[in-house]
Amino acid sequence: MVTWANVSELKEEALTLISWDLNQRQIWDLELLLNGAFAPLTGFLPEIDYRSVCQEMRLGDGTLWPIPINLDVTEEFAGKISCGDRMVLRHPEGMALAILEISDIWKPDLHGEAQAVFRTTDVAHPGVASLLHQMHPVYVGGHLEGIELPPHHTFNHLRHTPLELLEQFNRRGWKKIVAFQTRNPMHRAHIELTRRASEELKADLLLHPVVGRTSPGDIDYFVRVRCYEAILKHYPQESTMLSLLPLAMRMAGPREALWHAIIRKNYGCTHFIIGRDHAGPGLGSDGKPFYGPYEAQELAKSHENELGIMIKAFEEMVCLEDSKRYVAVSEVSQGAKVLSLSGTELRKRLRDGTEIPEWFSYPDVIQELRKVHPPRQSQGFTIFFTGLSGAGKSTIAQTVMAKLMEIGTRPVTLLDGDIVRKHLSSELGFSKRDRDINIRRIGYVASEITKNRGIAICAPIAPYEVTRTEVREMISPYGAFIEIYVSTPIEVCEERDRKGLYAKARAGLIKEFTGIDDPYEVPRNPEMGIDTSQMSADAAANSILEYLSSQGFIQAERSEKKT
Ligand code: PPS
């Protein structure tokens, strides 16, 4: 166990120690270390355990543990600490949460870790992308002493430590408890599956959804929790309970299933449901799934004795067309028709406001989902122009803005390159680092605008593909990201040279000028391309409005009238 003693002394000591400000991912890991959900871990893994977990799925002493739990820090920070030191881990709001007694500091081979844990280095895997793109390069291992659990401001009545959950189980007289993990809203198929599990095992049911990090594009947990609360009414009250798990998922499929089972054992459950494609990360860059659909349950089953929790494996549940009854796929008799509604189709129906059948879900759940999936005409979106200086980005952006303001259904904000550099990024230059910071700032502001259902029009050069992709990922959870490559050739831009910058760059008076002595990476998959040497700004703006109309973001007749 993590040590919890002398908290007031530790708080005093924390004032004298070097601090690391935790990011959200690290806070999720720390909370589950501190509250015992990651038992037997007593801190962030030392190097010997880390290597063994990667290679063998076991700690150095042989205990089953499939996922590395590491504290990652910058090289700069690592240069200030040594083994044997104590450091304080702080919440971004400043509270000291724990003291780490540093036993190991090392630079991991992150590609090797990805290959060992995820069996791939393909960044289409969200766990790999996070490991390779978000982790700091140095790991710090050591034993933790707890000061305070990370604070929560939402749904506190549904959050429990393992100890609190055990108390709840005892109070209710529950002895046999089957846990269900999910990162999605629950529909009828999930309910049938969990009811079946609970009936077959004669066990009480814990709905234990993840409210930490899930997979990119998942529905946010506020909405999901409202759906879970709605769905609880459809279960027998006395034998069902809902509790939220602040876990940072890795989407590691089979290894993740094992890990989830260990965590549920620590929360006092006796059984754990593993269905089809548990913690599946979707498809790889080659279009193939990373793991087999039943690999996760097979791996967990094969370690059942050692796990200390029983695995309740389930096949996919499907709905029979005739009787509207749910059965396991293998129970469908020959010739019987089954109903299905894919996630993509569900999202489309939510978006279009079209019917979602009763066999699929409950009206109260759908009502919650509809609240956050307004029809496209009321959703926010971002138009992101990218291209060389002088390509025509600002002129088209201004024309599009004027036309959208004439339509007038939502507020429109223009984040032009020059405007942003004046108001948001005045201290930045044009090095790769500075340009990336500039573009991330634009992305952040645009994501806030999009989230609040406005229209953001961005028109920076944004020369780097990775950074543009990052911005796309920041915005996409809230609304569409429409990337428009203004592909006007450099000769034309240079010929125009409205600001006289190309002449200066050629004369060596401006350094790092995009297209002259600094790179521009052509977008790989923009939603649109526009070449202003072939098309006027007005015609370009009209084609953008036509695109918006064809995608349902603006009403067809309004855009036609105005264009
Ligand atoms: S970036 O790369 O996206 O951060 O650039 P951005 O902020 O869009 O650039 C804004 C304007 O800065 C002028 N300018 C330069 N551009 C490119 N390279 C160098 N070295 C440079 N120095 C100044 C240029 O006019 C950009 O505006 P636009 O509207 O693209 O012409």
Q: How many domains does the chain contain in total?
A: 3
| Residue labelled with tokens 């799925």 | 57
Q: Would 151 be classed as within a structural domain?
A: no
Half-sphere exposure of 199 (CA within 13 A, CB side): 8
Neighbours of 305 (CB within 10 A): 7
> Do 206 and 309 fall into the same domain?
yes
Q: At what angle do helices 393-407 and 537-550 cross, to 10 degrees?
A: 50
Ligand 1 centroid to 389 CA: how many Å? Answer: 6
431 and 519 housed in the same domain: yes
Q: Tokens representing 71?
A: 């504290």
Residue 293 lies in a domain: yes
Report the separation in Å between the CA atom of 461 and the middle of ligand 1, taken as the mean of its atom positions. Answer: 6
Domain identity same for 198 and 317:
yes
Choice from 393, 415, 430, 486 to test ligand 1 binding pocket (greatest atom count within 8 A of CB): 430
User: C-alpha dihedral over 23, 28, 30, 35, to 10 degrees?
Assistant: 160
Structural tokens at position 286: 């080659």
Domain that holds residue 365: 156-372
Tell me which H or E stretch contains 106. strand 96-106
Asked if residue 331 and residue 242 are part of one domain, the reply reads yes
One of 90, 183, 226, 349 is an active-site residue; which one? 183
| Residues with Cβ within 8 Å of residue 196, at least 6 apart in sequence | 314
Q: Is 285 found in the same domain as 228? A: yes
User: Are 542 and 434 in the same domain?
Assistant: yes
Distance CA 410, CA 198 (A): 48
Task: Name the residue with the closest Cα to ligand 1, atom 15.
Answer: 513
Domain holding 19: CATH number? 3.10.400.10
d(CA 430, CA 322): 64
Residues in contact with 386: Cβ distance below 8 Å, sequence separation at least 6, in sequence order: 393, 460, 461, 462, 463, 468, 483, 484, 485, 486, 523, 526
Are residues 437 and 300 both part of a single domain? no
> Domain ends where: 372, 388, 422?
372
Task: Please indicate, yes or no, whether residues 349 and 430 belong to a single structural domain of this protein.
Answer: no
One digit per residue, pLDDT tens: the chain, 563 residues?
Answer: 788 889 999 999 999 999 999 999 999 999 999 999 999 999 999 999 999 999 999 999 999 999 999 999 999 999 999 999 999 999 999 999 999 999 999 999 999 999 999 999 999 999 999 999 999 999 999 999 999 999 999 999 999 999 999 999 999 999 999 999 999 899 999 999 999 999 999 999 999 999 999 988 788 899 999 999 999 999 999 999 999 999 999 999 999 999 999 999 999 999 999 998 999 998 999 999 999 999 999 999 999 999 999 999 998 889 999 999 999 899 999 999 999 887 778 877 886 778 899 999 999 999 888 887 787 888 999 999 999 999 999 999 999 999 999 998 899 999 998 889 999 999 999 999 999 999 999 999 999 999 999 999 999 999 999 999 999 999 988 899 999 999 999 999 999 998 999 999 999 999 999 999 999 999 999 999 999 999 999 999 999 999 999 988 998 654 444 43
Of 372, 395, 418, the position where a domain reaches its end is 372
Are 362 and 386 found together in one domain?
A: no
Peptide bond into 40 cis (omega under 30): yes
DSSP per-residue codes, 23-74? PHHHHHHHHHHHTTTTTT--EEPPHHHHHHHHHHSB-TTS-B--S---EEE-
Would residue 184 show up in a list of annotated catalytic residues for this protein?
A: yes
* 73 and 140 Cβ atoms separated by less than 8 Å: yes
**Which residue has its alpha carbon closest to ligand 1 atom 19?**
513
Same structural domain for residues 118 and 160? no
129 within a domain of the structure (yes/no): yes
CATH number for position 486: 3.40.50.300
User: Closest Cα partner for 404 from 454, 443, 351?
Assistant: 454
- Which residues form the pocket of ligand 1, taking CB atoms under 6 Å from any ligand atom? 389-390, 394, 417-418, 421, 430, 435, 438-439, 460-463, 499, 501, 510, 512-514, 518
- Residue with CA nearest ligand 1 atom 10: 417
Distance 527 CA to ligand 1 centre (A): 22
Q: Give the domain CATH number at 291.
A: 3.40.50.620
φ and ψ of 552, to 5 deg: 85, 10
> Which of 414, 442, 501, 509 is the pocket-test mutation for ligand 1 (most atoms within 8 Å of CB)?
501
Chain position carrying tokens 């370690």: 303
Give the end of a domain, one of 372, 404, 422.
Answer: 372
Smallest CA separation from ligand 1 atom 18, residue: 513
Claim to verify: residue 41 and residue 169 sit in the same structural domain: no
SS3 395: helix
Same domain, 48 and 86: yes
What pTM was computed for the model? 0.73
Is 182 in the active site?
yes
